[in-house]
Amino acid sequence: MAQGRTGIRGARIGSGPMGEPERGDLAARAAVSFWCGNGHHIQPHFAVGAQVPDVWDCPKCGLPAGPDPDNVPSPSVNTPYMTHLAYVRQRRSQEEGEILLNEALAKLRGPI
């Protein structure tokens, strides 16, 4: 009976037996440390000479992370979802809304 094992187990298509020399050498990389507000430590790798960003999103919790563990960036403030009525209330007072409503109802009802 077949045991379900083959000779290419764990191999990737296109990979060579001892690495991938035909694809060239990897660029020189440097690990940069970032810390988020929850204390997570992240070390993404960047090419040597590349511009490193000031803020990096933490893959564990989603908070922004900075290079200084004692001075982590604060999370951005997200405005909550506002309905159409909330936007209208920003532009008009209750009295103005009642005046507009009465005018619209008068137009709909018309002369009786």
User: Residues comprising the binding site for Zn(2+)?
Assistant: 36, 40, 58, 61
Q: How far is Cα 23 from Cα 13, in angstroms, rounded to an integer?
A: 14
Q: How far is Cα 33 from Cα 46, in angstroms, rounded to an integer?
A: 11
User: Residues comprising the binding site?
Assistant: 36, 40, 58, 61
Q: Residues 6 or more apart from 45 whose CB is under 8 A from it?
A: 29, 30, 31, 32
